[in-house]
Structure 1
Amino acid sequence: MFVLSKSIILLTIILQFISTVLLAFLLLGCIDSSSNYSNVYLINYKFNSSSSLYQHLTLNSNSTTTLSDISVKIGYLGVCLSIDNDLKCTTYKTLDSIPSYTLTFLSNQFNLLNIAQIFKDIVHPHLLMSSIILTLLCLLILCYILLPLPGRLVVNKFGLLVSFLNMMLWGLGAMLQVQSCKSATKLLQESSFGLVMSSNGSRAEIMTWVAFSFISVVFLCMVLSNWIDFRTKRVANGGKV
């Protein structure tokens, strides 16, 4: 029983560490032009050159850039602007560091990055940040349980509670993230009458659900570990709890 419990805890630590890394990269997506960050985005949008309204859209810039060469990727904390394969990424707080490209559509002007700022108010990173904190806390608890330290049984029960809260919290966060991205994508395309094409980031969505799956497995492993401790204690007490 003791060896089995240790093996379960070790497996749980590995899964919890992977979950922490996935959630951290999900949070930091689009804050840097490196492919490790820029390819982790929630929404990617660009202009649809086949739209009948495309001819009424002009870029107020002296460059030779065409609208079809511009795309914007949006993450939890950052934005990436791609122009002629030149990628520039920044956080929302330093959004002014990216050159402003103003568009004119039927005498109305708007900034290309205004859509990203609106999306920031739709998908908040608070649930993700909270889940990362709980994941790190659970990882520390698991490392404590693995070591021959006093109070292991009590800490194991506390770890079960933390893993349950983390599973429920990120389950809610994952559903809200996916639903918000799909709704924003649909709304963006319909409100622009097909002038803007948008798509959800498949890598971010995969990372979201893989992290949730691992967090769920961690909770189940914690349940099994506590059950083994309960059985061991019961046998040691001669069948009495």
Structure 2
Amino acid sequence: MLPPTLSDDQSVPFDDRGLAYGDGLFETVLLRAGKPVLWRYHTARLAKGCHRLGIPLPCQQALDATWQGGPTAEFEVLKLILTRGSGGRGYAQPDQVTPHLLSRRTPFQPSVERWQKGVAVRLCDLQLARQPRLAGIKHLNRLENVLARQEWSDATIAEGVLADSEGLVVEATSMNVFWQRAGEVLTPQLDQCGVAGTLRAALLEHGAIALASLSLHQLANVERLWVANSVQGVWQVTKLFAADGSLLQSWPLSQPDPFQRLAHQLLGVT
């Protein structure tokens, strides 16, 4: 049985568990000419999240139906939200789980200027809590990221870098973090917290990056630094600021950037 799909003009039920408790998952997918980019990785992460949370996974036909249809722009973003549905008393789930699947497509324009000129990022004061059962999946409770993003309003700062309660670099507020050390491109393990991005998954599968740990105080000493996700692509970091606004490190812009070029090839961007 397909889960019910709530279209854009329908309201989420008051007793929807995603609204009440963040009891659900979401995916943000880049569409190019109407086709989803890295779709296999998105559906695999959604399946992993459903397994972790015990939510029935929609069939492939229902998932594919969310993006099928003519494109409205060269680039679009498809957002999928899957909740456990309605019902249950308090935190107890209902006896019969009927998930709600919502989707929306919106036109999107990637920031080519940030690809070409790099970005400035800052460290965040907020520390991510460790919870291995939620690590890696894209669950709906993103309050830590919301609070971290409230820490700055300066439009020249593109992202904030987050560490966990042990002081290890985890991610940016909405992107994964990558750095170069001894010529090798590395990224955090994400086995305690954080979102395992689909572009990150593709890069790992292609052997372009390796997993490693990096403490926050070591971040300013890396050879190069990037933030990236499957929608925005790869941004080279040229300046790193502390939470108090002081400059910690700057890196020269590297053109061409082999890491960015490979990642963008995976996204179908030339």
Whether these two folds match at TM > 0.5 is no
TM-score band, normalised by shorter chain = under 0.3
Instruction: Tell me which of the two structures has the higher relative contact order, counting C-alpha pairs closer than 8 angstroms and 6 or more residues apart.
Output: 1
Larger relative helix fraction: 1
TM-score, normalization by structure 2: 0.18
Bigger Rg, structure 1 or 2: 1
TM-score, normalization by structure 1: 0.19
